[in-house]
Amino acid sequence: MLLTIDIGNTNIKLGVYQDDELLAHWRMATERLKLADEYAVMIHNLFALAGLNVKQVQGCAISCVVPPLTGQFRVLSRSYLGVEPVIIGPGVASGLRYEIDTPDQLGADRVANSLAAFRRYGGPVIAIAFGTATAFDVITEAGVYIGGAIAPGIGISADALFRLAARLYQVELARPPQVIGKNTVHYMQSGLILGYAGLVEGLVRRMQTELGTPCTVVATGGLAEVIAGETDAITVVEPLLTLEGLKMIYEMNRPA
């Protein structure tokens, strides 16, 4: 079995593959101060609840954008899984070529998303990951990563609004009944959800104009379904895109 681990700023996503079959997947909160031993207990428990034997894990692929946790999960993989992990980063084959100024600074999760989107849908393709930040990644027909954009995520945008506006309060991130709200809850939901859909539409339109052609737009992440329901700029939602990309990268870099 292969264990794929995507460590984001807010959540950690895990997937277990047997060959091409996804046996189970989970999500847990990212806690920067947790140690390898503590995460190992959580992973062992998740395996047990799913009826899987963690001792059958023969490989591990990790993407991490939280530097303090990279070392902890390396220790976890070596000590508790008994395997040398493939950690996405400089020196690891990604299956893509890059035409950007700083390819070594590209987030590991964005590398995995870009590869999975290109392999599944071909190019040109735009991969959008709705996470703590919302990342747009553009891959050409020839499999060249040419750049993208980063916008504040919906969650942190909402948190800033609630925290800095004294008379506003936390609301559910859901579609309002109509664009023109009739009360404070609907005012904020319209601005946050429908306004964010407008952000996505605007960036996708401008990117396609620069590319000179329409292209497939693949969305992933926690709020991808919500935003995809409000715009036709998104072609398809792939909730497990990052885990699939990690599996693909592992297969190219499988330890001897």
Alpha helix ranges (H) inside the chain: 36-49, 67-76, 108-121, 154-164, 184-189, 195-211, 224-228, 241-252
Check if 109 is active-site. yes
Closest CA to 128 of 217, 65, 64: 217
CA distance 141 to 121: 10
Closest CA to 225 of 213, 216, 217, 234: 234
Contacts of 90 (CB under 8 A, 6+ apart): 104
Residue 83 CA to residue 17 CA, distance in Å, equals 15
CB 145 within 8 A of CB 96: yes
Three-state secondary-structure class, residue 175: coil
Please pick, among 109, 137, 159, 232, the residue that the annotation labels catalytic.
109
Residues identified as active-site: 109
